[in-house]
């Protein structure tokens, strides 16, 4: 059972304001009661208007949901949730710390990436140099026929047959 206050009418009773808070939080009375460690019956009787909430329920609402405006809850003035400026100032130091930590980690990763880029460039140059050496060696070793090849080190020819694989 979800009691919703009439949106055209100002929530002027505390019972209506609690119903509006439950709706704003996207909850139902049972889960709201459980979140406050209260019985669902206690919340249902408040929502029906049979009882007004006691201090323990009001205190539990404000402790469990610090984003709820105490002024709204007690007097029906202002917004249900605390004003954004208040939210920002509450979370400002934590938010700043989180952003600062993320920026530090970003800078560390950026530095590591730069080092890795330089390593990759060096390895690419080495690879290209090795490939050129291999190409030179292969072109100087190409046999004129299958029975001889040029020795790239000595610059002399050989009459040994080219490797033909294993012989049984």
pLDDT bracket for residue 140 (50, 70, 90): confident
* CA–CA dist 56, 61 (Å, integer): 9
Closest CA to 36 of 11, 60, 68: 60
Average of per-residue pLDDT across 117-137: 90
* Residue 36 DSSP SS3: coil
Residues 6+ apart with CB under 8 A from 67: 81, 82, 87
Lowest mean pLDDT among 47-51, 74-78, 96-100, 142-146: 142-146
pLDDT, tens only, 71-103: 999 998 888 888 654 444 545 577 777 777 787
Residue 53: name the closest of 33, 30, 69 by CA.
33
pLDDT tens column, 111-120: 788 888 888 9
Provide the whole-model pTM. Answer: 0.46
pLDDT at 8: 36
Domain 14-82 matching CATH 3.10.20.30: the answer reads no
The model's confidence at residue 146, banded by pLDDT at 50, 70 and 90, is low
**Bridge-partner residues for 145, per DSSP?**
148
- Among 62, 57, 37, smallest CA distance to 47 is for 57
pLDDT at 5: 44
Does residue 123 surpass a pLDDT of 60? Answer: yes
Three-class SS state of 148: strand
């Amino acid at each position: 059972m979800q009691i919703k206050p009439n949106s055209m009418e100002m929530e002027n009773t505390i019972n209506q304001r609690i119903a509006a808070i439950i709706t704003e939080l996207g909850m139902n009375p049972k889960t709201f009661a459980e979140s406050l460690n209260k019985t669902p019956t206690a919340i249902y009787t408040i929502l029906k208007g049979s009882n007004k909430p006691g201090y323990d329920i009001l205190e539990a609402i404000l402790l469990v949901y610090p984003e709820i405006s105490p002024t709204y809850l007690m007097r029906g003035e202002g917004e249900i949730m605390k004003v954004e400026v208040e939210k920002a100032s509450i979370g400002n130091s934590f938010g700043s710390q989180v952003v600062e930590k993320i920026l530090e980690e970003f800078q560390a990763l950026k530095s590591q990436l730069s080092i890795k880029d330089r390593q990759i460039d060096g390895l690419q140059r080495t690879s290209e140099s090795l490939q050129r050496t291999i190409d030179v060696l292969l072109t100087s070793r190409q046999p004129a026929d299958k029975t001889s090849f040029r020795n790239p080190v000595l610059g002399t020819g050989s009459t040994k047959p080219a490797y033909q694989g294993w012989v049984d």
